[in-house]
Chain A
């Protein structure tokens, strides 16, 4: 057994997370957020089983039907229909898959890039650190929505490209945080010990530093999924996101803009879906942060 293995145990925050799963009852945020996420995941994985209708089929005879609690509403279309007579509920359910795919893909790319930059900058320091941190300065000097808009005007919007563009605007936050953490771990006894025993830079980064920052990356990554879902909604509203007829919460809001004056629900429901998903994600990550300890 080496010095590093015993002391780096402290840093294995992911395992610590799993160990503390038994004490889940003391963490209402995690439970509530988790349940909300579970509902979202059902919609992401089995939209066909949940949605009462085909999201693309339009029932022209039933355009702008009201939700079921209105006098002339019916359970046929529980939340009513849009201007083309498509079922709102079904479209909202199918949108979940699009939004979460973009969110998770974007957050993953952002995490990989951000963590790599943060690790390298924090660990090696010096000139490399200066160059990388100036890069993040430049990135931060760009308002991220504006950057996304500028990029999406030249890139054809698809699930992949939108995810990538939003990752480009978000990796900096990982890079900065991770660099800060690495700076504080770099000189800690267990890393110094490992180095004294002759561990290579690569090994130290992999075995001693990465596990330490993983918890933070996870917490942050989940929040970024939420941020990306919100950004995507806004971009879709501007017509820069997912293109119709494929439903997304944002483009549903945009498509139904003209009916705002007469049938407000078409503009209200998709927004509620976004709030539900984002709230679920942020409560869950807040709960995880609690479990991982105030140290983060």
Chain B
């Protein structure tokens, strides 16, 4: 187990290192002068030159990267041009809102996918199964942020039942998190459906049935554990998509999280903040995946014992 953890940690460091290089290069190598990008289009020539100096853009590329990475390791990702405070601080102050949204969305997704997946998977080919499949194709085709707009029209504007924007009490979370959960539901529901179908044909389930257990007990006692493993894995793998979805959905519902911050930063050409968001979010994402891998290894001894565990 110890060796497996160490292996995964080394991989994590390697991946984060790669991500930092990628983010660094996006700003420096893509055509266009970052200094000019950060300033208004009509900024005077001297101002651009001065900013180039301040940003260290006149140094050779590898020197620039070393400065960038050594600052980043100390948690310093530069100051925001617009808000005049450290970008790290700014991003971390918005992180809880985004995490609240994504966790609530996961809760919706797990509950709804379990219901759909179990109903469909228990009897593949039935009418319920076909309905679930069709519904999920539809959900998959629907841009989630657009569905958010529809929810706002119906629940906030017509029925005045839920607040349309902002973050406050539980009512504020309902619509945005439900909208975001749609990103996850088709993948999750269909995997649960397929897995359940497979599990129900395993030997241990046949044995359980042969013992005379009712179908409900078979489902609850014998199918739950294997389902949980795949559920955790998918949640980890899909976390990035969920975060990506959150960016747009936060804008739709004026949810004061990272997505909202990023968009404001983009509009203000505050590239330091965009860079900080990218790095911190990638870090969170990689950590979540590490956690998932480890919990997976914890539940399933086969992973732990296999060499390297990849």
B18 within 8 A of A: yes
Cross-chain contact A138 with B146 (CB below 8 angstroms): no
**Main SS of the interface on chain A?**
helix
With A143-B282, A153-B271, A261-B157 known to touch, is A271 a contact of B26 (CB < 8 Å)? no
B243 near A143 with CB under 8 A, answer yes
Segment among B55-63, B134-142, B297-305 that sits at the interface with chain A: B134-142
Stretch of B108-116, B200-208, B273-281 on the interface side: B273-281
Contacts of A240 in B (CB 8 A): 266
Residue of B nearest to A275 (CB): B141
Q: How many A-B residue pairs have CB under 8 A?
A: 137
Digitize B3-37: 1 where CB-to-A-CB distance is under 8 Å, 0 elsewhere. 00000000100111011001100110010101001
At the interface, is chain B mostly helix, strand, loop or mixed? helix
Q: How far is the CB of B131 from chain A (nearest CB, A)?
A: 16
Are A151 and B153 in contact, with the CB atoms below 8 A?
no
Interface size on B, residues (CB 8 A): 51
Partner of A150, one of B23, B138, B240: B23
Task: Report whether B22 and A142 are in contact in the complex, using a CB–CB cutoff of 8 Å.
Answer: yes
B14 surroundings in chain A (CB, below 8 A) = 134, 137
Interface: B247 (CB within 8 A): yes
B149 contacts chain A at the CB level, 8 A cutoff: yes
Check if B96 is an interface residue, CB within 8 A of chain A.
no
Whether A279 touches B138, Cβ cut-off 8 Å, given contacts A149-B247, A240-B266, is yes
Q: Which chain B residues lie closer than 8 Å to A209 at the CB level? A: none
Q: In the bound complex, do residue B143 and residue A234 qualify as a contact, i.e. CB atoms below 8 Å apart?
A: yes
| Contact status A278-B245, CB under 8 Å | no
Partner of B244, one of A140, A146, A151, A274: A146
Q: Are B137 and A279 in contact (CB under 8 A)?
A: yes
Could you mark each residue 249-287 of chain B with 1 if its beta carbon is under 8 Å from any beta carbon of chain A, else 0?
A: 001100000000011001100010011011001100110
Residues of A within 8 A of B23 (CB): 150
| Nearest-neighbor residue (CB-CB) of B252 within chain A | A237
Q: Is the CB of B26 within 8 A of A154?
A: yes
Known: A150-B278, A154-B27. A138 touches B22 (CB 8 A): yes
| Bound CA–CA A274/B140 (angstroms) | 11
In the assembled complex, the Cα of A239 lies from the Cα of B37 at a distance in Å of 17
> With A and B bound together, what is the CA distance between A117 and B297 in angstroms?
29
Whether B142 contacts A283 by the Cβ 8 Å rule is no
Interface presence of A155 (CB below 8 A): yes
Q: How far is the CB of A261 from chain B (nearest CB, A)?
A: 6
| Closest beta carbon of chain A to B272's beta carbon, Å | 12
Q: Which residue on chain B has the smallest CB distance to residue A144?
A: B244
Of all chain B residues, which has the CB nearest A274? B143
**Are B266 and A142 touching (Cβ within 8 A)?**
no
User: A282 and B241 in contact (CB under 8 A), knowing A134-B18, A138-B22, A237-B248?
Assistant: no
User: Which chain B residues lie closer than 8 Å to A286 at the CB level?
Assistant: 137
A150, closest chain B residue (CB) = B278
CB-CB < 8 A to B243: which residues of A? 143, 145-146
> Which of B19, B34, B141, B147 has a CB less than 8 Å from the CB of A141?
B19
Instruction: Add 4 more A-B contacts to A143-B244, A145-B241 (CB < 8 A).
Output: A142-B22, A147-B278, A154-B32, A154-B37
Q: List 20 A-B contacts (CB under 8 A).
A: A137-B14, A137-B15, A138-B19, A138-B22, A141-B282, A142-B19, A143-B240, A147-B278, A150-B23, A150-B275, A153-B271, A155-B30, A237-B248, A237-B252, A238-B248, A260-B152, A267-B149, A275-B141, A278-B141, A279-B138
